[in-house]
Amino acid sequence: MKVSVRVNGHDMTADVEDRMLLVHFLRDVAGLTATNVGCDTTSCGACTVLLDGESVKSCTVLAAQADGRAVTTVEGLAGNGEMHPVQRAFHEQHGLQCGFCTPGMVMAIVSLLRENPHPTEEQVRAGLEGNLCRCTGYHNIVRAALAAAEVAS
């Protein structure tokens, strides 16, 4: 079937299998490989992207469901060569090690801060419940989220 998705501001149209997942559309059709797959049970959040501005796990959305809608991945976050405040905060707070969970984490936090621009540490932790990281112990990810909130205010 034919689907058209606006990915990071560019329209992409392709003929895909009905059952193609959005994450595979992004990775294999759009060639944007930052968004990762870490599980097959909607548990890890490595695949988190924004769909019409809201965070979704792109492994649970069919490409067809994104037809006519806009997707933002981590590749689309920086503007004019400037990192987004959440990306910058991850860098400054050492919020990543191997980097595998990172694109999903960053997108989840972008979404979290849109909904709640001044979260407490507890709210950040609760908001990240669906995003697993095996490297950082979450300590610096939480700090990055709080630092990004600080910068934005």
Residues that bind other proteins (CB under 8 A): 17, 19, 27, 31, 33-44, 46, 74-75, 77-78, 83, 87, 90-92, 94, 96-103, 106, 121, 124-126, 128-143
Whether 16 contacts 56, CB under 8 Å: no
**Could you tell me if 105 and 141 are in contact, meaning their C-beta atoms sit under 8 angstroms apart?**
yes
Q: Which residues contact 102 (CB under 8 A, 6 or more apart)?
A: 74, 90, 95, 96
Q: How far apart are CA 99 and CA 3, in angstroms?
A: 30
User: What residue type is 92 in one-letter code?
Assistant: E
Nearer to ligand FES, 42 or 79 (CB): 42
Closest by Cα among 58, 56, 52, 19 to 36? 58
Nearest approach in angstroms of CB 35 to other proteins is: 7
Residue whose CB is less far from other proteins, 60 or 68: 60
57 interface partner picked from other proteins, ligand FES, none, CB below 5 to 8 A per type: ligand FES
**Residue 22 in the binding site for ligand FES (CB under 6 A):** no
123 binds ligand FES (CB under 6 A): no
The residue (of 54 and 118) whose beta carbon lies closer to ligand FES is 54
All residues at 6 or more sequence positions from 31 whose CB lies less than 8 Å from its CB, including other chains: none
Structure tokens at 142: 């939480």
Q: Which is nearer to ligand FES, 1 or 98 (CB)?
A: 98
**Cα angle 146, 147, 153; round to 5:** 90
CB of residue 153 to ligand FES, shortest distance in Å:
26
The single residue among 88, 97, 123, 125 that binds ligand FES, judged by CB under 6 A, is: 97
**Contacting positions for ligand FES (CB under 6 A):** 37-39, 42-47, 57, 59, 96-102, 133-136
